[in-house]
Structure 1
């Protein structure tokens, strides 16, 4: 591309970001636009052809800013913290995109047939790094627009979503090559064509589809039983600070729960959502003997006469130190806590503040942001057990909120023995459908990757039961107070390759990229033009 009009490069980066935001679930296209998937990165890769390194840096920063703001704009609805949620995420990932720009710029300078493969490898490693660690944010990944094409997403039980990430980035890079003018051929170096690789990418797509069809329809998982769950979506307003808001929230959940067991007496487990109980249940249970005043919680448990799974703060004293956890409790009809899971991956800068013990840090967050405390991260992979009347024992894990999007959390729970994952979450603060559907999409991929039933019980949506192939077996409309009584099947299933091996593909691609760079450095840092 000629630099007579360098603004076209930046326009291409913005166009890619907009395509990406339209492809994933958004307020215009609630479930996303999967047909855009192979083209999402094509403008960006096209613009990188012949770019200087400073231009590549500006392109990637611009892409990151536009994509983050247009795909995660619902973070701006986080009340008084919105400047830190939307601003923190947007600015916090600029270093990621700056770092990425160096590798994409280097890959874009390679000749065919290496260039499109290297661009795809670099992008796959980038999305893996973006989704991992303390600052990990597995939202808006390249394969997510494909979530509704169930045969395609079955390949995730082999190597996670990363084969699809690589394939889509590869196709985008090949299409960018087709759109770019080739370098003139020389007698010693004829101009290669991207078409053979494009045919290979199409063949790989067909292989993925064939694998998915076989996995879904020819390799059944034997069902060993089932239990009936009542999922309570009470649709409380997360930003209601009125004196009676907490009690009204609990009363609504109680009313819906009792309606659920009256209409479906065979319910085995009632599930609420994240932190419906706002006062630490384990600290002073006597508080719940008299609250809510209209129907005290303890009296409700007796009437319910079934185990209740609910979110609640958990208070723990270690020496002179008091710790609070965002937790899920399994509470029996007698009010006894039968098990507790403490959230391990907390939301950075919202649920957990690094260096909170430093007085200057506390002063800033308390005085400027009005954040007066922080959760402690849990450490245990708690697996709950639920005995059924027929003698069946259900073993389940409970990732909290966005934990159901993290491979490291869900794999650990499955490897610890969980045969069902029950996610308790509250996305009502976002006030948008797109935020809730984006969350669901991440969970859907996790269910398919681990071949594990995923139950989602939420405050305002998307409440549903996802089977091991990603099919939604039952659901509720969003932002509506309602209950869902659903049969949750239990399967005898061997662990998937992905459950055993984890994120092997992006790690191997990382080693390949680094080995290639080191090899070329040893040869004197070869650089080749487009073509």
Structure 2
């Protein structure tokens, strides 16, 4: 016990706590809490950079090992706190008993937390290779590059880029303007850079003079935080709208509402028709549970004809090959003179393997009732839609035995539909979890989509942080591509999001309702839409180059000594 550096563990826990605060915890995020993202990394990074100095008598292996473990612990604690909803999802809906659900959350947190450990380890290696009686500027400059590369790795290897640091500033009208150029990663880079400035205030030597470098870094960092947070007080412009879409929120029970026998089918379809036609109902002029004003008195003559009706991903027994489904949807489209996007289960015959391929899909139907296409979800949810390494997770027997793997879609095409003004416009559709992958969503806009439609079922998360976290990440997709985003959910948050990420309209969660969502089309392409993840890719390359160079310095001490003197 005497060999355990408890200050390291405390720093890891403090960073995990601070990093959880700028994200939704059980409801919408108050804008002021975004401030924590500007300095949340400081305890962890300071602890890692001070370790080689305070423990100079220890071996390099000991120092680097504790750097890895400190970062890993911090990441595991953060993922456990930020994604605590995994426990409820596994326990309530996946059929796991409480101990196994806890185990699932722990394993989930340890797996993803490792990437924080990798960040801390690489930082420690660079520091060890370049330090000269303290911390070199190269180490500090490397921090935002390492952090951005780590987030990029999370998106590409475990494929879980949930609540990246930049999402904390989705309500920051100034900082979010980076997103159309760099994606969310550019915002993360800036936040990590300011964290690095504050770290410099702790780890740089005081030096000579009345205003040494460490104080200058601290003052500059605080000034940037004040300036940056001022962006949360700025109201972005309010783009004009010209179209209306009816977003149906059926509020079905994800655990039981998956079979409509006999009269139940007719009752639900009648309710679908009623909700799709309620174009003059009230709405919230903002996000639910934020005190947004209720708009109740609507001039029905000012509401344009419906350009789209959407039904979300839900437990409804909608099967594309079911004649009853095809007949019912075609009739609804013709009755309302509106095209439709309907969450459904798609199927393809696979005669070679004597089976059907099953997809999480969205059927696209014209106003004449013709089925013109289907979007099949490409990025599936692990343990929700497929089991990775199925044999290795035998202890999750309830999930493994009861859930067959769904098939993966192949195309991110946009779909042409005739709007109420008689013109044809293209829609890009993505389903649920796909909204967290900016580099994938942008491809819909690049393929011609003039508006984005996100259908989702967040009923699996209950009243936790997840629906609000999910909403904020979807909002970033609207900003990156400068597109209106129509977000239709089973039980909330159903909303209309403008190209600047502002929720312009919504309806309360957990109620059967529909939203007459106003929007507009846009065909202009942002730099990020065209080029994708250039910034994080560059950060990843620079990180690998710097890691290779630092490793060489450690392997060849003489080279390391001369390099340290030069630094």
Quote the residue 2:94 is aligned against.
Answer: 80
Aligned to 2:478, which of 425, 447, 455? 447
Provide Cα deviations, 1:422-454, integer angstroms capped at 9, x if missing partner: 000001111024211100111111111111111
Quote the residue 1:61 is aligned against.
Answer: 72
The answer to whether the aligner puts 1:9 opposite 2:8 as a matched pair is yes
Alpha carbons of structure 1 residues 76 and 211: separation in structure 2 relative to 1, 3 Å: closer
Quote the residue 1:314 is aligned against.
Answer: 346
RMSD: 3.6
The answer to whether the aligner puts 1:392 opposite 2:392 as a matched pair is no
Superposition pairs of residues 215-364 of structure 1, within 5 angstroms: 226-240=242-256, 251-252=267-268, 254-255=270-271, 257-264=273-280, 266-281=305-320, 283-286=321-324, 300=332, 303-321=335-353, 322-332=356-366, 335-354=369-388
Distance 2:372 2:324 in 1: 17
Deviation of the 1:260 alpha carbon = 4.2
Aligned to 1:383, which of 414, 419, 423? 414
Alpha carbons of structure 1 residues 430 and 367: separation in structure 2 relative to 1, 3 Å: closer
Aligned to 2:125, which of 106, 109, 113? 106
Three-state SS of the structure 2 residue aligned to 1:509 is helix
Deviation of the 1:204 alpha carbon = 7.2
The count of aligned residue pairs is: 508
Provide Cα deviations, 1:225-253, integer angstroms capped at 9, x if missing partner: 73210111111111126865998698457
Q: Is the 8 A contact 1:306 1:333 kept in 2?
A: yes
Three-state SS of the structure 1 residue aligned to 2:21 is helix
Deviates most, 334-343 or 398-407: 334-343
Deviation of the 1:91 alpha carbon = 3.3
Deviation of the 1:70 alpha carbon = 0.7
Deviation of the 1:417 alpha carbon = 0.5
Deviation of the 1:387 alpha carbon = 0.8
Provide Cα deviations, 1:42-77, integer angstroms capped at 9, x if missing partner: 111122123222221221221122111111011112
Distance 1:439 1:103 in 2: 30
Distance 1:194 1:152 in 2: 25
Provide Cα deviations, 1:184-231, integer angstroms capped at 9, x if missing partner: 869xxxx972445556667877998999999956xx98x7x7321011
Aligned to 2:534, which of 504, 518, 521? 504
Distance 2:94 2:85 in 1: 14
The answer to whether the aligner puts 1:486 opposite 2:517 as a matched pair is yes
Q: Is the 8 A contact 2:360 2:377 kept in 1?
A: yes
Quote the residue 2:54 is aligned against.
Answer: none
Deviation of the 1:122 alpha carbon = 0.7
Deviates most, 255-264 or 15-24: 255-264
Q: Is the 8 A contact 1:119 1:169 kept in 2?
A: yes
Three-state SS of the structure 1 residue aligned to 2:317 is coil
Deviation of the 1:490 alpha carbon = 1.4
Quote the residue 2:187 is aligned against.
Answer: 164
Quote the residue 2:548 is aligned against.
Answer: 518
Q: Is the 8 A contact 2:338 2:367 kept in 1?
A: yes
Alpha carbons of structure 1 residues 451 and 198: separation in structure 2 relative to 1, 3 Å: farther
Provide Cα deviations, 1:83-125, integer angstroms capped at 9, x if missing partner: 3863553233244334333212224544232222212211111
Q: Is the 8 A contact 1:153 1:448 kept in 2?
A: yes
Unaligned runs of 5+ in 1: 290-295
The answer to whether the aligner puts 1:471 opposite 2:464 as a matched pair is no
Unaligned runs of 5+ in 2: 52-62, 281-303
What is the TM-score with the length of structure 2 in the denominator?
0.79
